[in-house]
A = this chain, B = another copy of it.
Amino acid sequence: MKSPQAEKAAKDKNTVKAIVEVASSIEKRIEAHAKPEVTFPIRSLGNVHYDPKKGWFEIGKGKSIRTLTVNTAKTFAQTLKMMALSKELVETSDFATKRDAYYQSKNWGEAKFDDQSESDTVMDDIEAMFSVSGVSREQLRYIPDEHGGAVAGELIIYDQDLETGKTEKIDCTKFGSGAYTIPSLVEHLTFETKARFILCIETGGMFQRLQSHKFWQKSHCILVSMAGVPTRATRRFVRRLSDQCDLPVYAFVDCDPYGISNIYRTLKVGSGNAAHINRFFCVPRATFLGVTPQDIEDYKLPTHPLKDVDVKRAKDALKNDPFFKIHKPWAAAMEKLIRMGVRAEQQALARWGLNYVIDTYLPAKLKNTKVFLP
């Protein structure tokens, strides 16, 4: 296991190298009296590819080139200023949100952003540009404004003091009924664990039940509360933890088209309109523990009727989503759900007792993880 310091230093070196390469190529063109240009991958569904062996929605080879002209002069300058800020952030061990960057630009003279949508676009461009060389927005030190989810269980996290560089050890078994909040930036964290798997949970209520009853102790696992569609930080945290410690990831969400196609699918393969970042954020090893349409029958769960929006979402997924086209068991499960015409919440298991989920459902499921939906 690399130390957090070594991990961070290696990544930072790589990031600065990538920034310098782009800047140098621009400088060379200027010196050669050619018009400078920057190259971005095209970000659209038409430029997306899904190979289940690789495990995520991948960006295709489509590229767009921005050449410096009278019309693009300001955006071009802003792109370079944002890259320079990124280099400065890496070198000073600091970070900035999109908003921080927007306000910083007020000191950039003519190149200042007039509104936040302008700086968001340039940020997205830079993210896409550097994703091609394997550098994520977070490695460029631009952090999301939202925090990550909550974590508890058999896990030790090694973090690093930003100012002193001292290693800090965080033991996720020691939070009582509380939990660990995933920070915005997780690139520098390293992990130590004897857990057997990571359990990603949709609702705060279910997470609280499993955490308060220390389910992780009984089953040797790490609990992660996603609180709906997981944030970037949460997805990246789970991905890095899963990769570094070679841990399977099981998703435990509501049985409805939103839980399946938005929460689970996004966790596992990423999303279509952000394909340039999926390689960093998706968790290809994730499989689907439940609640499955079959569980609704097997466990006689109380249900609600599917709403029109649910049915539309499910049919859209079957028709257009490469994930459901490639994974036949998922297409079958989704079709079954549409036929049944109902949905069930993960908390519906409380019908059989508040702790039925801990005493019966999860142990039964975990005995046969091979049958989990892909």
- Shortest CB-to-CB span from A162 to chain B, Å, is 5
- Using a CB-CB cutoff of 8 Å, which residues 224-262 of chain A contact chain B? 225, 227
Mark interface residues in A338-353 (1 if CB within 8 Å of B CB, else 0): 0000000101111100
Given A103-B351, A350-B100, decide whether A161 and B176 contact each other with a Cβ distance below 8 A.
yes
Q: How far is the CA of A143 from the CA of B355 in the complex (A)?
A: 15
Q: How far is the CA of A184 from the CA of B157 in the complex (A)?
A: 23
Residues of B within 8 A of A351 (CB): 103-104, 106-107
Given A205-B99, A350-B96, decide whether A170 and B176 contact each other with a Cβ distance below 8 A.
yes
Given A147-B204, A302-B106, A354-B94, decide whether A99 and B347 contact each other with a Cβ distance below 8 A.
yes
Size of the chain A interface, CB-CB below 8 angstroms: 61
- Using a CB-CB cutoff of 8 Å, which residues 47-95 of chain A contact chain B? 94-95
29 example contacts (A-B, Cβ-Cβ < 8 A) are as follows: A94-B354, A95-B209, A95-B212, A96-B350, A97-B205, A97-B347, A99-B350, A103-B302, A103-B348, A115-B304, A145-B204, A147-B179, A147-B204, A157-B176, A159-B176, A159-B177, A160-B176, A161-B176, A162-B214, A169-B174, A170-B176, A175-B180, A175-B181, A177-B183, A178-B182, A180-B180, A183-B212, A184-B204, A185-B212
